[in-house]
Amino acid sequence: MKVVENISLKNLNTFGVDVNSKYFVEIYSEEELKQVLNSEEYSNQQKLILGGGSNLLFTKDFNGLVIKNSISGIKLLDEDSNKVIVETGAGVIWDELVKYCIDKNIGGIENLSYIPGTVGAAPIQNIGAYGQELEETFYELNGIYIDSCETKNFNKSGCSFSYRSSIFKNELKNKFIITSVRLELNKNPNVNLSYNPVKEEAEKRNIKHPTIKDIREIVINIRKSKLPDPVEIGNAGSFFKNPVIAKEKFKVLKKEYPDLKHFFVDEDNVKIPAAWLIEKCGWKGKRIGDAGTHEKQPLVIVNYGNASGKEIYEISTMIKIDVKTNFDISLENEVNIL
Ligand SMILES: Cc1cc2nc3c(=O)[nH]c(=O)nc-3n(C[C@H](O)[C@H](O)[C@H](O)COP(=O)(O)OP(=O)(O)OC[C@H]3O[C@@H](n4cnc5c(N)ncnc54)[C@H](O)[C@@H]3O)c2cc1C
């Protein structure tokens, strides 16, 4: 374990933003993490735990210690004829876990295939896609408080999961480091076809009874056709959450815009696609210098070349202002801004 000084984070964030960190260390175990947190030398430094860097935007250099989580390992724990608990180190790549499970015909996370990043970051925003959310299979996690170095276990209710959020994105933001995650998965999996494009693609492929492997292939195919690959164009996926508005407000909007897509969250609230709002404001594929929105998916803000984090952030602010002005709806960031 070696702490290095003044390192570029360009290859450690999927926006490809070129910023420096004052200090940087990669840790491979809970013991190494505790060693770093306990060391007097860095005790006063601001700390940032970094996974794959696929859900954050650096707007300036980081004046502290970046701790890259590389705790590895996937283990099958308790199992019965139906369920199995899978424990994974927080530094494992999320999609490697999905593939590992599918290869063993263990189901429950196949719709979350190909989401970038690490397992340790997955509970932070309760990752979700194509009709599945992490919380559905989440069992518990372990981690360490940055200030006290105390270890703590969180069960599902302790995590306060909600749409792209959890206690770790709110009260415990930058205070707690997740070191391992346990999921409860199915040994006799039922496939989830609740998201129409997945169902339609299965029908198109003439698959009558899709397996979890089929679902993985379909989801990866859809994702590749819709979302820019961060290796080619820097991005962090959806920049904003889909806003939830009151039913009354939705009715007024729907009258004015009959093509408005939506779905009901509950009796009183409706979720609107942020991409639709952004496109209506003329932002689809718009570019200012090297920062802009993606031509196929305006919810994804991209770095077309050498945009700075500040330039990308400015675009996000302009989009928010336009959506607020045109629709009186406030967009909330999904991406963590630093
Ligand atoms: C092309 C693309 C598509 C995407 N699609 C989706 C999608 O469909 N659904 C979805 O939900 N997300 C999606 N994302 C966002 C992103 O992949 C997820 O949020 C992912 O979980 C982030 O993981 P990471 O390891 O890269 O986290 P990072 O970006 O490294 O960190 C994100 C935040 O979590 C904190 N953090 C990271 N690890 C830990 C830890 N071990 N303990 C405590 N805090 C930690 C960081 O400090 C930071 O605040 C997409 C991103 C991209 C680039």
Walk along the chain (338 residues) in steps of 10 and give the mean pLDDT of each run: 94 97 97 93 92 97 97 93 96 98 96 98 96 96 96 97 95 96 95 91 92 96 93 96 94 91 87 95 95 94 96 97 96 96
Answer yes or no: is the C-beta of 144 below 6 A from any ligand 1 atom: no
* Residues designated catalytic: 164, 238, 334
Q: How far, in Å, CA of 240 to CA of 256, rounded?
A: 23
Q: Which protein residue has the closest C-alpha to ligand 1 atom 2? A: 237
Atom of ligand 1 nearest to the CA of 48: 47
Atom of ligand 1 nearest to the CA of 143: 42
d(CA 144, ligand 1 centre) in Å: 19
Answer yes or no: is the C-beta of 113 below 6 A from any ligand 1 atom: no
Q: How far is CA 162 from the centre of its chain?
A: 13
Would you tell me the crossing angle of helices 196-204 and 212-226 to the nearest 10 degrees?
A: 110
Specify the amino acid at residue 335.
Answer: V
Q: Which protein residue has the closest C-alpha to ligand 1 atom 3? A: 237
In the block, residue with structure tokens 């989830």: 192
d(CA 126, ligand 1 centre) in Å: 9
**128 and 163 Cβ atoms separated by less than 8 Å:** yes
In terms of C-beta density within 10 A (0-12 exposed, 13-18 middle, 19 or more buried), how is residue 287 classed? middle
Answer yes or no: is the C-beta of 50 below 6 A from any ligand 1 atom: yes
Please report, to the nearest 10 degrees, the dihedral formed by the alpha carbons of residues 325, 308, 284, 262 taken in order. Answer: -60
Q: How far is CA 125 from the centre of its chain?
A: 6
d(CA 139, ligand 1 centre) in Å: 19
In the block, residue with structure tokens 């997955």: 122
In the block, residue with structure tokens 């998965």: 185
Going by C-alpha positions, the residue among 174, 176, 180, 177 that lies closest to residue 64 is 174
Res 14: pLDDT: 98
Q: Residue 234 is encoded by which pair of tokens?
A: 């820097």
Q: How far, in Å, CA of 37 to CA of 55, rounded?
A: 23
Q: Which protein residue has the closest C-alpha to ligand 1 atom 53? A: 236
256 sits in which H/E element: helix 247-256
Answer yes or no: is the C-beta of 180 below 6 A from any ligand 1 atom: no
Q: Which protein residue has the closest C-alpha to ligand 1 atom 21? A: 122
In the block, residue with structure tokens 């406030």: 330
Res 78: pLDDT: 83
Specify the amino acid at residue 23.
Answer: Y
d(CA 170, ligand 1 centre) in Å: 15
Going by C-alpha positions, the residue among 166, 150, 147 that lies closest to residue 158 is 166
Q: How far, in Å, CA of 334 to CA of 57, rounded?
A: 11
Residues in contact with 225: Cβ distance below 8 Å, sequence separation at least 6, in sequence order: none
**303 and 235 Cβ atoms separated by less than 8 Å:** yes
* β-strand partners of 86: 76, 183
Answer yes or no: is the C-beta of 129 below 6 A from any ligand 1 atom: yes
Res 262: pLDDT: 87
Res 84: pLDDT: 96
